[in-house]
Structure 1
Amino acid sequence: MATTTPVFPLLLLLFAAAVVAVPPSPYLSPTTLFQNYQNMLTNFKIFIYTPAKPFTFQNPAASLFYSSLLYSPFHTQDPNEAHLFFIPFSPETSMRSLARLVRDLRVNHPYWNRTLGADHFFVSPAGIDYSADRNVLELKKNSVQISVFPVISGNFIPHKDITLPPLNPAARIISAVPENASTSSFLGYLKWDGKTESNFVEELKEDGDFLIDIERELLDHVEKVKNSKFCLLLHAGDVAWMVEAMAMGCVPVVIVDRPIQDLPLMDVLRWSDLGLLVEARGGAKRLKQVLNDVSEEKYGVMREMTSAASKHLVWNEETQPLDVFHMVIYQLWLRRHTIRYARRQSF
């Protein structure tokens, strides 16, 4: 694990200039992103509380984020220079123990009470639910939660919380995007877990324009992704291969029957132009109609942006500039300005 992150101001400026000069861009605001990114690399500091006992995250993405943060130049031993405070705790921590942890922070450290935890963040791969305990409720409502996409409904607060893209240990990120998408053999491709949205998937199986792979069969799907215009992702199912598919120019289509606001890097990427959201309740017929309504011109733009965006969703054992670790840190950087309450609020 590298202990420092190289800062390449010239490289970043050239990258930013290229992004601005060659539309379309996958970013919400390219100019702001790269200016802020450089400031973040230079100035951002995070203090990490010492956990009560050693623990590990079983989720690969959460584990890699935690270890990368520990050995990054953002980690400071001086809480007085910190912009944010990280509260590490095991995903197995009970609500009672979590309440005790927050209470200890309130009593034994001066930092929590200044903002009621609004300048604190924590990692919970599945997210935490609401609780009647006042301490846990403050943590839930005020502190930034970092969880792994997708998050259970109710465990994620939009505009405050952050999601990590899943880490797929078997992923092969392939940068070469097929030049001609019009020769694609399939309109949509789905790598299925054999359970999620089974009725919807059975409808898809009956249409020859869709290809369904059952995950447990362990089929090599790289060529199938390349030969498909769209890659279908069941929001409640397996999405770990999303980044691999995007890197190969397969436009993501998230199948979900509720509003979705927990996509990774929501503060960075223009997901509305990168992919599509389609309701499963409309069935295969409705899905096919939506996909066929995408013009070739619009589809070409989506493919370009999808491939460009995928580079920021890649996990590295040794962090690299502009990779997913740094993009998550960047989202924390955007949240470093907190409200300082004049008095303690009650809930």
Structure 2
Amino acid sequence: MRAAGNYRPTFSLSSYLVVLLVIPLLVLLLLLTFLIQPLSSRSSSSSSSETWAVGNSSSTSRNFSYSRALSAAPAEAPLTSFLYGSPSPAPAPAPAPQISTGAIQVGGIRRVKSWRSMKLDKLEESLSKARSSIREAAATSLALKNKINSTSKSVQLVHDQDPDYVPHGRIYRNAQAFHRSYLLMEKLFKIYVYEEGEVPLFHAGPCKSIYSSEGRFIHEMEKGKLYRTKDPDEADVYFIPVSVTNLVEYLYVHGTPDRDPIKRAFIDYIKVIADRHPFWNRSLGADHFMLSCHDWGPVTSSSVPDFFHNSIRVLCNANTSEGFNPSKDASFPEINLLTGEISSLGGPPPSTRTVLAFFAGRLHGHIRYLLLNEWKGKDEDVQVYEVLPKKVSYENKLKSSKFCLCPSGYEVASPRVVEAIYAECVPVLISDAYVPPFSDVLNWRSFSVQIPVQNISDIKNILMGISHRQYLRMQRNVKQVQRHFVVNGPPKRYDVFHMIVHSIWLRRLNIRVHDF
């Protein structure tokens, strides 16, 4: 018997053979894992259940990047200045993707790009050229304006040709840049509408209610005559055709606090398109958008964190205190079309408008409470009603007033803003944290008055402080801007439908999507 301390293990020939076979297999397995891993991140089918609802908005693995190529200002400038406003030099745009070779370097290994990836590169190259063209128009316009200011001489601005309408005047932040952008949108912009989902929760919306602007947009996109493409690979953006108003109508049990059925329907829809298509996972939703005029639009979108943080949310309830982000989200107007049509446009001249300011509306939120408490029945110049007297027409009151008060209700948006514009009454926005519709293009200060909630008691002094000459200028601007808020069937160029699409177009220009 051998002592334990002198034991020597012995290996048979078969043991050596096993070792010699196992080691190369392990090395080969490691090499295959290294090679396959970069490709697996592109597979939507294998990763959709893990990536479609990622909540970390600061993830470094997403395949999109924000680009402020429309900027004429430093990167930290707010939206309203970096889209069209500042004369300072713009940062150089990111280089356009190179698509001529059809190959990329991944981990030191040359791989042939897929046809889908090359198509995306070509699309991004086209958008990059559009960004440069719009920046050029903005810079040219600003340079000419500076020349006018420095020489006090009349300089004729050169506009793009347009048979219908050429944007001009103070109602725009930069009319020439907007016009160039609009023409490029008409030429290039493609929207893919996901076909999943059933009516009435999807592909339909209310067209005869206070939420009609939601339903009318969905209706026009479903008709498919403007901007829509049936080929998802040529699309710039992807539309989630959900009607939050209809989700509330058909899924919410009124009188209860439970909104979970609405949230689950939205979560399930995003999961379905992420499982069936590669486009959501490619950008984590950055080139996707939804549109909602319902008060619960923001909370519905927040049920999918990636959608809330990355996607384009087109909302009537554009409240920055509740997560509305103007650099990626868009505000659009709340329009109350009870009959589905606009009752009347226009109004009498300013000389016949005898009422300084007018409002009529029931108690609906804290701001209205403050307004009614301060002004209801207390002043002949500032006429505030909770209920109009019998035989007094609401529409006639709008058209006999110089200024129309538009306080927020429970949410920031109000249909009274568009009602005032239709009646050619200067709107007075009384709200906090509200981003007015199309404010990246329109200069709201030129045709409206904005009064903070804390100054409600000072409304009369503020409005009386506006000179007659200034009021006449603002009223003319209201008449000019009206075309951008009109609902037409079918849509007409520069109307509210096209302005909504243009807001989405601008936000798509602010990102780059990559397919690795």
Displacement of 1:341: 6.5
Over 3 Å counting, the alpha-carbon distance change for 1:224 and 1:96 in structure 2 is closer
Contact 1:233 1:253 (C-alpha < 8 Å) held by counterparts: yes
Amino acid at match of 2:219: S
How far apart, CA to CA, are the structure 2 residues paired with 1:336 and 1:207?
Answer: 48
How far apart, CA to CA, are the structure 1 residues paired with 2:302 and 2:467?
Answer: 50
Q: In structure 1, what is the equivalent of residue 230 of structure 2? A: 77
How far apart, CA to CA, are the structure 1 residues paired with 2:272 and 2:356?
Answer: 55
How far apart, CA to CA, are the structure 2 residues paired with 1:147 and 1:322?
Answer: 19
How far apart, CA to CA, are the structure 2 residues paired with 1:88 and 1:160?
Answer: 19
How far apart, CA to CA, are the structure 2 residues paired with 1:259 and 1:35?
Answer: 30
Displacement of 1:221: 2.5
Unpaired stretches in structure 2, ≥5 consecutive residues: 1-158, 248-260
Amino acid at match of 2:227: F
Contact 1:178 1:248 (C-alpha < 8 Å) held by counterparts: no
How far apart, CA to CA, are the structure 2 residues paired with 1:76 and 1:46?
Answer: 6
Among 466, 475, 485, the residue aligned to 1:294: 466
The within-5 A match list for 1:1-347 is 12=162, 15-16=165-166, 19-20=167-168, 23=169, 25-55=170-200, 56-58=204-206, 59-71=211-223, 72-91=225-244, 92=247, 94-125=262-293, 126=295, 127-129=297-299, 136-149=304-317, 153-154=321-322, 156-169=324-337, 171-180=342-351, 184-196=353-365, 197-204=368-375, 205-214=377-386, 219-236=392-409, 239-256=414-431, 258-261=432-435, 263-284=436-457, 286-337=458-509, 338-340=511-513
How far apart, CA to CA, are the structure 2 residues paired with 1:326 and 1:131?
Answer: 23
TM-score by length of 1: 0.83
SS at match of 1:232: strand
Deviations 1:88-146 (A, max 9, x none): 2242263233223223333321111221111100123232228886xx00011111112
Contact 2:405 2:430 (C-alpha < 8 Å) held by counterparts: yes
Q: In structure 2, what is the equivalent of residue 3 of structure 1? A: none
Over 3 Å counting, the alpha-carbon distance change for 1:46 and 1:321 in structure 2 is same
Over 3 Å counting, the alpha-carbon distance change for 1:217 and 1:193 in structure 2 is farther
Which structure has the larger Rg?
2
Contact 1:129 1:155 (C-alpha < 8 Å) held by counterparts: no
Amino acid at match of 1:331: S
How far apart, CA to CA, are the structure 2 residues paired with 1:150 and 1:332?
Answer: 14
What fraction of aligned residue pairs are identical, expressed as a percent?
Answer: 26
How far apart, CA to CA, are the structure 1 residues paired with 2:265 and 2:422?
Answer: 41
Displacement of 1:53: 1.8
Displacement of 1:152: 9.0
Unpaired stretches in structure 1, ≥5 consecutive residues: 1-8
Higher relative contact order (CA 8 A, sep 6+): 1
Over 3 Å counting, the alpha-carbon distance change for 1:317 and 1:215 in structure 2 is farther
Displacement of 1:34: 1.7
How far apart, CA to CA, are the structure 1 residues paired with 2:468 and 2:433?
Answer: 27
TM-score by length of 2: 0.57
Contact 1:251 1:303 (C-alpha < 8 Å) held by counterparts: yes
**Which has the larger share of helix?**
2
Displacement of 1:313: 0.4
Amino acid at match of 2:513: R
Contact 1:174 1:244 (C-alpha < 8 Å) held by counterparts: no
Contact 1:49 1:86 (C-alpha < 8 Å) held by counterparts: yes
Count of residue correspondences = 323
SS at match of 1:320: coil
Displacement of 1:179: 4.4
Over 3 Å counting, the alpha-carbon distance change for 1:154 and 1:229 in structure 2 is same
Contact 2:350 2:472 (C-alpha < 8 Å) held by counterparts: no
How far apart, CA to CA, are the structure 2 residues paired with 1:303 and 1:42?
Answer: 33
How far apart, CA to CA, are the structure 2 residues paired with 1:312 and 1:259?
Answer: 23
Contact 2:316 2:332 (C-alpha < 8 Å) held by counterparts: yes
Contact 1:117 1:143 (C-alpha < 8 Å) held by counterparts: yes
SS at match of 1:312: helix
SS at match of 1:269: coil
SS at match of 2:409: coil
Displacement of 1:342: 8.2
Contact 1:62 1:147 (C-alpha < 8 Å) held by counterparts: no
Over 3 Å counting, the alpha-carbon distance change for 1:132 and 1:269 in structure 2 is closer
Over 3 Å counting, the alpha-carbon distance change for 1:101 and 1:251 in structure 2 is same
Over 3 Å counting, the alpha-carbon distance change for 1:288 and 1:130 in structure 2 is same
Over 3 Å counting, the alpha-carbon distance change for 1:240 and 1:11 in structure 2 is farther
Over 3 Å counting, the alpha-carbon distance change for 1:50 and 1:306 in structure 2 is same
